[in-house]
Amino acid sequence: MTKLELKVKTNKLDKVNEVTLDVEAPTEIAEKAYAIACRDISNNVDIPGFRKGKALRDIIEKNYGKAYISQKAFENVFYDMLSKAASQEKIEIVDVVEISSFNLLPSQPLTFKAVVELKPDVKLGKYKGLKVAGKKMEYDQDDFIKQTLEKISNNLITFKVVEREITEGDLITIDFEGKFEDGSEVPGGKAEKFQAVLEKGRFIPEFIEKLQGVKSGESKDIEVKFPENYDKGFAGKLGKFHIKVHTVEEKVLPEINDELAKKVGVESLALLKEKIVKQMTEMQEINNKNEFENKLVEEIIKNSTFDVSERMLQREVEHLLHDVKHECEHSGLNWDEFKKDEKNKDIFDRANETANKRISIDLVLSAVIRTENIIAKPEEIEQEIKMRIAQNPEGLKNLEQDVRFRSAVHLSIVRNKALDFLVQNNEPVWGKDVNVVSAGEPKADKSEKTAKTGKSKK
pLDDT at 151: 94
Question: Domain spans of the chain?
Answer: 7-118, 158-252, 266-451
pLDDT digits (tens, 9 = 90+) for 249-291: 999 999 999 999 999 999 999 999 999 999 999 999 999 999 9
HSE (CB half, 13 Å, CA atoms) of 238?
6
Domains 158-252 and 266-451 share a fold: no
pLDDT digits (tens, 9 = 90+) for 93-136: 999 999 999 999 988 999 999 999 999 999 999 999 999 998 89
Which pTM value belongs to this model? 0.71
pLDDT digits (tens, 9 = 90+) for 49-65: 666 656 667 777 887 88
**Taking 80 as the threshold, does the pLDDT of residue 148 lie above it?**
yes
pLDDT at 172: 94
Q: Cα angle at 140 between 137 and 146, to 5 degrees?
A: 140
Domain 158-252 sits in CATH at 3.10.50.40
Q: pLDDT band for position 355 (50/70/90)?
A: very high
Its CATH architecture, for the domain 266-451, is Orthogonal Bundle (1.10)
* Cβ proximity of 205 and 255 under 8 Å: no
**What are the residues facing 177 on neighbouring strands?**
190, 242
Question: Can you give the length of the chain in residues?
Answer: 458
pLDDT at 436: 80
Residue 384: phi, psi to the nearest 5?
-65, -40
**Topology of domain 7-118, per CATH?**
Alpha-Beta Plaits (3.30.70)
**Taking 90 as the threshold, does the pLDDT of residue 328 lie above it?**
no
